[in-house]
Structure 1
Amino acid sequence: MITYDQSRTIVEQALRHARDEGLPPMTVAVLDAAGQLMAFGREDGSSLLRERIARGKAHGALHMGMGSRGIAARARSHPEFVNALVALADGDLVPVPGGVLVRDSDGQLLGAVGVSGDVPDRDEECALRGVTAGDLCADPGA
């Protein structure tokens, strides 16, 4: 499982990257492999739905076993299927980039991170920076 210290590093480094890039206020959620919240960061001024979006991206990655970029690709080719997945997950699956699986160096699943605050590609960029800063492997699903 992902540790609390690893989770905090992901949040801190994802937010640091967002500040370095001048992005809007961001929200980051790190979940363990069982979908439990390990660490969370919400910058001042981050809008109200950002927490649910970040968690939905991370949960979606865990639900489907792939980063949300892969889920987004499936949504383009099979929209009815992904709409059904969102319904089955009670809305806790957001099919756009920004949800990244977290793996160890052996490829074992440790958890997932979801980031929200800017366009999906920039959200994913923050997630990737956070994960790799902690010497973990990021799996965005593409």
Structure 2
Amino acid sequence: MTTITLEAATQMIAATTAYGVEHGLKPLSVIVLDAGGHPIAFARANDTSPARYAIAHGKAYGAVMMGMSGTTLNTMAKERPEFITALNTALGGTVVPVQGGVLVKGADGKVIGAMGVTGDTSENDADAGQAGVIAAGFTPEI
């Protein structure tokens, strides 16, 4: 099974933040988690708030723990808020069910981790994360 190396995580973060700069997004904070939800790498742009780590982590953690994108989790939050509340309780209040939680899949289509992006609109965060995952040679699910 493919895993995300520190080098690949760093490449994903660099490409994600570069996308943000190229598209005029607000400063981004980005985290990459492995398939078990453990942080591999995190970076934040200058002048971002300290809360951005927790938000990025929550987006990625929810995605990898459930095996579904932040977009899907956001839809579930709207359609089944009681489930997302229960999920968040079970996971210690760490899930942020919005776009910007990007699943990372290997060549075989299996989930190998997730990226959490925050700083701009959730839609723009997801687009930036998608670009970062692709740049590292993996398949994103936003």
Task: Note the 1:1-142 alignment, pairs <5 A.
Answer: 1-140=3-142
* AA of the residue aligned to 2:141: D
User: 1:43, 1:10 → 2: CA distance?
Assistant: 14
Give the share of equivalent positions with the same residue, in percent.
Answer: 38
Q: TM-score, normalised by structure 2?
A: 0.95
User: 1:2, 1:31 → 2: CA distance?
Assistant: 8
**SS where residue 9 of structure 1 aligns?**
helix
| Superposition RMSD in Å | 0.9
- Stretches of structure 1 that go unaligned for 5 or more consecutive residues are none
**SS where residue 41 of structure 2 aligns?**
strand
CA deviations on 1:69-116 (whole Å, 9 max, x unpaired) are 100011111111111211221121101000011011211221100000
User: 2:81, 2:45 → 1: CA distance?
Assistant: 32
Q: TM-score, normalised by structure 1?
A: 0.95
* AA of the residue aligned to 1:84: A
The range that moved more, 2-11 or 83-92, is: 83-92
